[in-house]
Amino acid sequence: MQVRQHDEKGCAVRAGVDIGGTKTLAVVIDSDCRPVQQLRLPTGFGSEALLATAVEAVSRVATLAGISIEDFESIGIGIPGTVDNASGRVTHAVNLGIDDLDLGPRLHDRLGLVVHVENDVNAAAFGAFHMVGTREAGSMAYLNLGTGLAAGLVLNGELWRGSRGAAGEIGHIPVDPNGPVCPCGQRGCLETMASGSAVARQWPTAHPSPVQELFEAAQGGNALALDVKQRLVENVASAVRALVLTVDVDIVVIGGGISSLGEPLLGEVRAVLDSRAAMSPFLASLDLADRVRIVPAGFPAAAVGAALLGTAWIPACTGAAPQTTVSSASPAPNPTGT
């Protein structure tokens, strides 16, 4: 068995697991903090099934990397819901069938290593920050466009969770007093305008990637598709603007399932920001369009971020280019998922 726990730079081999509503993705990051192995499994529903999924994911990705679980320097988990990252407790992860689970301690018992647990959007923010590199950004907002809309903030190289963990919950800023009622109880939240669920409401389809189909239909001149797509892009641009106006981050990185649209989405968001800048010297002075990036397709931001958060930040490992030449046990990620 090949054991590569540390390399000559002192960097450690770490595991990160992104537990989503339908799939769980585990990665091993190497001495350069790049994902070198990854594996996908369907996520079990409910506490015991979810724990079993996490244990199996860590075990199997360790095998792929040619090491044992105990050779990991650390293990990090990203998961939806309310996460107390100090205790490893997860609550209100409704889509996973979790009401209250001591995820960190329970996995520690089964895996024999300390397991750091983080909210999945925060984990993805940290992974995206690593991907971009500190040479480009001292501060970054990660705009997650999945089923919902939320942001994670990395300020001066560290996650900013806020006083109650609500930092970056901009999806629930109301933007349309006449908009639909949001699951949060308010009306016309940004999330009801720019998210996978927003697209699903306005463009019902059985297509495996509704946003892909939406963009293609708009390209073909479909009037409804053009209308829905424009509303999506305008509100994504509004989310970028809100993030910069609130925390003035160096860059905003768009991620989540909708980001699988790639350059066409990025180009349209930049065009909206440019058109607004043309009408506002104030906005023009902020260079909003220049600050936006998009996560490269296939980069497992949440799993990488979870792995990086598993131990203290290692400055020597920042700034590495993303590299995902990995083996995978499953098909491509669901472009409509979170």
When asked if residue 147 is in the footprint of Zn ion (CB under 5 A), the reply is no
Quote the least distance from Cβ 28 to Zn ion, whole Å.
37
Q: Which neighbouring-strand residues pair with 89? A: 84
Are 108 and 6 in contact by the 8 Å Cβ rule? The answer is: no
Q: Which helix (H) or strand (E) holds 23?
A: strand 23-29
Contact 106, 50 (CB under 8 A): no
Give the shortest CB-119-to-Zn ion separation in angstroms: 17
Q: Minimum distance between the CB of residue 178 and Zn ion, rounded to whole angstroms?
A: 15
Alpha carbon distance, N-terminus to C-terminus of the chain:
36
* Residues 51-110 interacting with Zn ion (rule: CB under 5 A): none
Q: Residue 149 or residue 292: which is nearer to Zn ion going by CB? A: 149
**Cβ 244 to Zn ion, closest distance in Å?**
21
Interface characters, 21-50, with Zn ion (x: CB under 5 A): ------------------------------
- Amino acid occupying residue 128: A
Cβ neighbors of 292 (< 8 A, separation 6 or more) are 240, 251, 252, 253, 254, 266, 269, 270, 273
Residue 97 or 174: the one with the smaller Cβ distance to Zn ion is: 174
User: Helix or strand or coil: residue 2?
Assistant: coil
Q: Nearest approach, Cβ of 176 to Zn ion (angstroms)?
A: 11
Judged by beta carbon, residue 57 or residue 151, the one nearer Zn ion is: 151
Closest approach of Cβ 179 to Zn ion, in Å?
10
Q: Which lies closer to Zn ion via its Cβ, residue 197 or residue 212?
A: 197
Question: Smaller CB distance to Zn ion: residue 189 or 304?
Answer: 189
User: Which stretch, 120-128, 143-151, 167-175, 315-323, contacts Zn ion (CB under 5 A)?
Assistant: 167-175
Farthest CA pair distance, the chain: 63
Q: How many residues bind Zn ion (CB under 5 A)?
A: 5
* Among 309, 311, 304, residue whose Cα is nearest residue 38: 304
Q: In angstroms, give the least distance from the CB of 173 to Zn ion.
A: 8
> What are the two backbone dihedrals, phi and then psi, of residue 284, each rounded to the nearest 5 degrees?
-60, -35
Q: Is 15 helix (H, G, I), strand (E, B) or coil?
A: strand
Q: Write each residue from 169 to 198 as x if it is in contact with Zn ion (CB under 5 A), else as -, in one continuous string.
A: ---x---------x-x-x--x---------
Q: Which is nearer to Zn ion, 149 or 294 (CB)?
A: 149
Rama region for 217: left / alpha / beta (φ>0; ψ in -120 to 50; rest): alpha
Q: Which residues bind Zn ion (CB under 5 A)?
A: 172, 182, 184, 186, 189
